[in-house]
Amino acid sequence: MKTFSVCMSIILLSGCVSSQNGSNWQCSANGMINSSYSGGNTAMIHLSGYSRGGHYKVSKNEAGTVATGNTGNGTPFVCKKVN
């Protein structure tokens, strides 16, 4: 049972990777269950304690490789471009 709990914790804390034009994005946030970002103006972030995720505006750095934002409850998130 301990192994199952550890595995589920890893799954719940890991980010989601999505692709656009051959590029992948990996998002992270405290308490994140799931995420989806494809390089646009918003990212979908689903935090633990909520039945579903929401779409939140992002700001990209000048190079277009990092997108940051805040969820509705103020939790900051970061999505990084991974090749």
Q: What is the per-residue pLDDT across 24-50, written as a single tens digit (0 to 9) for each? A: 999 999 999 999 999 999 999 999 999
Query: How many C-beta atoms lie closer than 10 Å to residue 69's C-beta?
Result: 22
What pLDDT score does 27 carry?
98
What pLDDT score does 12 carry?
43
What pLDDT score does 7 carry?
38
Report pTM: 0.74
Spell out the residues 6+ positions from residue 12 whose beta carbon is closer than 8 angstroms to its own: 33, 48
**Range 49-70 average pLDDT:** 97
